Amino acid sequence: GKEVLLLMKALNTLSTPEEKLAALCKKYADLLEESRNVQKQMKILQKKQAQVVKEKVHLQSEHGKAILARSKLESLCRELQRHNKTLKEDNMRQAREYEEKRKEGTAHFQITLNEIQAQLEQHDMHNAKLRQENIELGEKLKKLIEQYALREEHIDKVFKHKELQQQLVDAKLQQTTHLIKEAEEKHQREREFLLKEATESRHKCEQMKQQEAQLKQQLSLYMDKFEEFQTTMAKSNELFTTFRQEMEKMTKKIKKLEKETIVWRTKWENNNKALLQMAEEKTVRDKEYKGFQIKLERLEKLCRALQTERNELNEKVE
């Protein structure tokens, strides 16, 4: 009401109806330009929202990769326990065979008894070293699994917290979408653009699924290779050292994955903050847009009133 009164006072200062009409047209053009700027800012905010949704999908895919790495570690631990059990059985069997040979050879080969005992002692020392190394490796794997489980629980808690924050943001976005229902017809082209982005994200998701299937195939190949390695473990100690090197590589990969999860976690938090700021800016812009619409309606009414007044004045002049 105050703006209308100020506008009426400003129009009363003008002398002719043509000047009044020109001032009103200028005011109308300014308000129209302001409304167009608000619509442009609204489009930019919607693009930012689509980018944040893409980041969320990417983080979920990284979380799936971390779960796959954990399953690999668990399978390796199970295979190691199985291998330790087979080593113990082989050692017991070899000990029984040596004991039987020693009993049979005491009657016929009394001279070579000392040599056989020396070989048995060397073999027992070698087996004791292997058992000690297997026990140490098992303890290291248990510690790694426990650390990985704790980190996985922490990551799950963080993801749950982020999902709650996302739900809160979604609720706020629903409120904002309720306020801009009247402008949905003007933004049809933007919706088509968002649909294209959604189809692209689905296509990327399908590609990630294909990559997951390929990784599963590679995992099966690695399991087959590990079984072959298990069969040759009793024959050669060099293969055991290669297995230890592979375990060290796996620990390096785990550390690398942990660093990547920390980086993606920080990105996720920054994106959520940006999304909240965009939602607040959007609500402010919507309120300004509604104010501009009300001003435009009032100016149109004034224009119509002045037009009728001008027509009456023209009739009186004629």
User: Hey, where are the domains in the chain?
Assistant: 1-92, 237-289
Structure confidence at residue 40 (pLDDT)? 92
Rounded Cα gap, residues 246 and 89, in angstroms: 25
Give the pLDDT of residue 106.
Answer: 67
* Rounded Cα–Cα distance for residues 112 and 228 (Å): 37
- Degrees, nearest 5: CA angle 278-283-287: 145
In order, the DSSP letters of 35-90 are: HHHHHHHHHHHHHHHHHHHHHHHHHHHHHHHHHHHHHHHHHHHHHHHHHHHHHHHH
The tokens of 154 are what?
A: 């922490």
Residues in the chain, pLDDT under 50: none
C-beta of residue 289 within 8 angstroms of C-beta of residue 38: yes
pLDDT at res. 111: 78
> Alpha-carbon distance 311 to 92, whole Å?
116
Q: State the DSSP H helix or E strand holding residue 15, giving kind and residue range, or none if neither.
A: none
Can you give the pLDDT at residue 169? 60
Contacts of 174 (CB under 8 A, 6+ apart): none
Give residue 229's pLDDT.
63
Per the listing, tokens 């002719």 go with 16
- Angle at alpha carbon of residue 104, lines to 102 and 107, rounded to 5°: 100
| Structural element, H or E, at residue 182 | none
Q: Of 34, 96, 61, 69, which Cα lies nearest the Cα of 207?
A: 61
Residue-wise pLDDT for 229-246, tens only, equals 667 666 666 766 776 788
C-alpha 202/C-alpha 198 separation (Å) is 6
- Nearest of 38, 41, 42, 16 to residue 295 by alpha carbon: 38
pLDDT at 190: 64
- The enclosing H or E element of 5 equals helix 2-13
pLDDT at 37: 92
Determine the Cα–Cα distance for residues 231 and 224; give it in Å rounded to an integer.
11
pTM for the model stands at: 0.24
